[in-house]
Amino acid sequence: MPRQLLFVAMPFGRKRDPSGRIEIDFDAVYEQAIKPAAADADVEVIRADEERGGGIIHKPMYERLLLAEIVIADLTFANANVFYELGIRHAARPRATILIFAAIGTLPFDVAPIRSLSYKVEDDGQFTAEAATRLRTVLTERLRLAKASQDKDSPLFELLPEYVGSSLPHESTETFRDRARAASELTERMRAAAEAEDADALRAIEAEIGDLGTASPELPVDLLLAYRDVSAWADMIRCVDAMPATTRDVVTVREQHALALNRRNGPGDRKQALKILRAVVERYGPSPETCGILGRCHKDAWQQATDADLKALALDEAIDAYSMGLDADPRDYYPGINLATLLLARGTDADLERLESVIPVVNFAVARRGGLGSHDYWDRAAGLELAVIAGDEPLAGRAKATLLAAEPPDWMLQTTARNLRLLVEAGRPAPWVVQIADALDPPD
């Protein structure tokens, strides 16, 4: 008899709470507590990878929520997708849904009365070995009980005794189990190939998947983002072209398609990228992500243009795009740091005056993400660029050291070095800035 299946809905990687006060490593929670507890309780575990899937709710997600014998939902930070998935689960299955959350505050009112397990994190968000052991022990017991218990934990089933929920045939469950296991294994291999910067391994995985138009919907998106992580721009574009129309229309996919077109920059690529991004803004409104990629397209056009009028136009359009992204959400520093750099580059009196108001906003946005103490490369890179803009050589030196110590992919260091060289051209020509850029990306 096959082991019961546990489906885990939770964030991936390190995430900060909405205030930016605390950062939790959810991978540590999964690897050190949930996964070992599943092994101890002899259940097979699959985790929802929403980070790789762009937060897309798709058919396989519904299948897992409906057909998995047990579900764990981590409600920390009130992630909207996790709550939506919890609602589906409670409407479909009367039992074996386990709620967990980090004990850093209270749960939202609607789920507060439901029995749940809290786990401890330190004031800085660290999930200690002691906390992992405690959560593992408690979860193991809950999983063992869930395998056999007939007690209802869905509020809907408790309130409506005659409600029957969903009932699917045995063959559906077995087909789902095989498909979910295969998709999960492929996703893990994609993640490993991306971390190893092995584009050939990703292409081999793509060949195994076969027709992306008929594959499990999350796999083409996983593959798209893995290709992005290894800078395989042409593969990204080919991947999007092979997706079904419904997947190609997802905002995340459209944004990444435009990013890849701009980076490949073949004949007509940038024009197509701009068209895609403008259509997204027109339909959904501006966002830091969309406007950040739009600004990058114009910024690249500015740097590559040889005609003076076209160069000036591209710079104006880049500034407008980054301004729109910063206005859409000042908490996202990416548009703001680029806006600051380009205002410095254009250098009118009005630009320099505006720069004085932009810098504090960007400083705050970077600080709330942890600044140089963050575990995220881009947070620290933004801190480095701000230090250069401020002319703070000691702080910039510390930022450089943290970036190099992290040993990120070369393309990340190259991107930061390119931004620093742009700042040198824009009005921060100190020799130490050039030295830092060369340390990150040594010249040929």
Burial 74-104 (b: 16+ CB within 10 A, else e): bbbbebebbeebbebbbbbbbebbbbbbbeb
> Whats the size of the chain, residue-wise?
444
**Which residues lie below 8 Å from residue 246, measured CB to CB, with a gap of 6+?**
none
**198 touches 235 (CB < 8 A):** no
Report the Cα 98 to chain-centroid distance in Å.
25
Instruction: Provide mean pLDDT across the span 211-217.
Output: 85
For residue 218, count CB atoms less than 10 angstroms from its CB and return exposed for 0-12, middle for 13-18, buried for 19 or more: buried
Instruction: Provide mean pLDDT across the span 64-93.
Output: 87
Residue 348 gets which letter from DSSP?
-
pLDDT at 2: 73
Residue 439 gets which letter from DSSP?
H
CATH architecture for segment(s) 5-168: 3-Layer(aba) Sandwich (3.40)
Distance CA 327, CA 205 (A): 40
Question: Residue 98: what are its φ and ψ, rounded to 5°?
Answer: -110, 125
Helix (H) or strand (E) holding 163: none
Q: Hey, is 390 helix, strand or coil?
A: helix
Instruction: Provide mean pLDDT across the span 175-191.
Output: 77
> What order of strands is seen across the sheet that includes strand 117-119?
44-47, 5-9, 70-74, 97-102, 117-119
Amino acid identity of residue 248, one-letter, is: R
Residue for token pair 């992630």: 79
Q: Is the confidence at residue 50, as pLDDT, over 50?
A: no
pTM listed for this prediction = 0.78
Instruction: Provide mean pLDDT across the span 202-225.
Output: 90
**308 touches 386 (CB < 8 A):** no
Which structure tokens are listed for 301?
């056009």
Q: Is the confidence at residue 150, as pLDDT, over 50?
A: yes
Q: Which of 37-41, 57-61, 221-225, 365-369 has the lowest mean pLDDT?
A: 57-61
Distance CA 426, CA 342 (A): 8
Residue of 122 and 313 predicted with greater confidence: 313
Instruction: Provide mean pLDDT across the span 110-117.
Output: 74
**103 touches 120 (CB < 8 A):** yes
Instruction: Provide mean pLDDT across the span 217-231.
Output: 89
**242 touches 212 (CB < 8 A):** yes
**299 touches 426 (CB < 8 A):** no
> For the segment 377-420, what is each residue's pLDDT rounded down to a tens digit?
999 999 999 999 999 999 999 999 999 998 888 888 998 999 99
Question: Residue 72: what are its φ and ψ, rounded to 5°?
Answer: -110, 130
**273 touches 296 (CB < 8 A):** no
Residue 102 gets which letter from DSSP?
E
Q: Which of 99, 88, 10, 78 is nearest to 49 (CA)?
A: 10
Which structure tokens are listed for 342?
């380009």
> For the segment 262-316, what is each residue's pLDDT rounded down to a tens digit?
999 999 999 999 999 999 999 999 999 999 999 999 999 999 999 999 999 999 9
The mean predicted confidence, pLDDT, of the chain is: 88
H helices, E strands: number in the chain: 21, 7
Report the Cα 291 to chain-centroid distance in Å.
17
Q: Is the confidence at residue 226, as pLDDT, over 80?
A: yes
**259 touches 296 (CB < 8 A):** yes
Q: Where are the domains of the chain?
A: 5-168
pLDDT at 329: 93
> For the segment 331-346, what is each residue's pLDDT rounded down to a tens digit?
899 999 999 999 999 9
pLDDT at 109: 61
Amino acid identity of residue 321, one-letter, is: A
pLDDT at 174: 62
pLDDT at 127: 93
Which structure tokens are listed for 205?
């995985």
Distance CA 287, CA 332 (A): 10
**409 touches 431 (CB < 8 A):** no
Distance CA 291, CA 321 (A): 5
pLDDT at 54: 47
Angle (nearest 5°) at CA 14 between 130 and 140: 40
Q: What is the dihedral of CA 381, 382, 383, 387, to 10 degrees?
A: 100
Q: Which of 101-110, 284-293, 312-321, 370-379 has the lowest mean pLDDT?
A: 101-110
